[in-house]
Amino acid sequence: MSSPKKYLNPSVLSKIDNMSLRAKLVVEGYLVGKHKSPYHGFSVEFAEHRTYGQGDEIRHIDWKLYGKTDRHYVKRFEEETNLRSYILLDTSKSMSYKSKKITKLEYGESLSAALTHLMINQKDAVGLILFDNLIRKYIPPKTSKSHKNIIYNSLSKCKAGENTDIQLILDSMADRIKKSGLVILISDLLDDPKKVMKGLNHFRHNKQEVIVFHLIDNQEFNFEFNERTNFTDMETGETITTDPWHIQYSYQDKIKLFINKYKKECGNQKIDYVPIFTDQGFDIALSEYIRKRHKSS
């Protein structure tokens, strides 16, 4: 039998059409081999026992304690303050780029679905925002299991849209979100870094915790083209034709500066910045979310 870990591979996962199944397989693959479930202690904390009374559910009876005392006691749980999370998924034209099997948008969809599965199973509320230069879909945070299917359905119908205006979206959502929580931005960040950071800082001023998952295709980073190529900006339509090897080193320097700028600016604002290549496993992002979740609880 093959290991569930294989579903952490985006190329393997992309062969599965059902978004709900994708989410489940990614999370199960992530948990395989873990000595301690990252779920432990997230949402409810055992407080004490009390005597079983009329109206109590039988499933909450502590049968081990009954065996010792010959009396029915009910486990009482004290709810912690559950985390309220918002997943902001960039669906702009540039997210449809791929050099191999999977686009940045497809990676973002699967990651969003897996995070939703993980959060709702922990009784955390999660909402979804799909955007390009406008908010195309807004699903407010909820904790019900049926809410998962609403999010999965939206993700499965997701298509790349128009140009990017990340700051506009971030400012709009920062004004809309009043309660403190966790904001997760999933994007290729192909916009003016100064404007993007202004939008992210808006969340930080509102006391929100923020994670940025920066999705990058390997060709966008390495620029390893072997022949004269026609390049078209997927959002502006601007076209240039060039011999890639003439500009490869200059391009690589600029993309590294681009990434390092985000890394530095996010670090200064205590924003978790996680660059992820679209051929890397989903465990990188899930581990970062788990770490952030523990820190926020």
Q: Which residue ranges make up each domain of the chain?
A: 4-34+82-296, 44-79
Predicted structure pTM score: 0.81
Task: Give the pLDDT score at 67.
Answer: 73
CATH superfamily of 4-34+82-296: von Willebrand factor, type A domain (3.40.50.410)
User: Which residues in the chain show pLDDT less than 70?
Assistant: 1-2, 33-50, 52-57, 66, 73, 75-81, 223, 225-227, 229, 231-235, 243-245, 296-297
Q: Which tens digit of pLDDT belongs to each residue from 76-90?
A: 554 444 789 999 999
- Cα 102 to Cα 109, 116, 277: the distances in Å are 11, 20, 11
d(CA 294, CA 297): 5
**Extended beta strands in 152-223, E state:** 182-187, 209-216
Tokens 């403190």 identify what position? Answer: 180
Task: Give the pLDDT score at 40.
Answer: 42
Name the phi and psi angles at 139, rounded to 5: -115, 110
Task: Give the pLDDT score at 175.
Answer: 94
Task: Give the pLDDT score at 50.
Answer: 63
Task: Give the pLDDT score at 252.
Answer: 83
d(CA 194, CA 174): 17
- Kindly report the number of other CB atoms within 10 A of residue 117's CB atom: 24
Cβ atoms 8, 44 nearer than 8 A: no
- Kindly report the number of other CB atoms within 10 A of residue 187's CB atom: 24
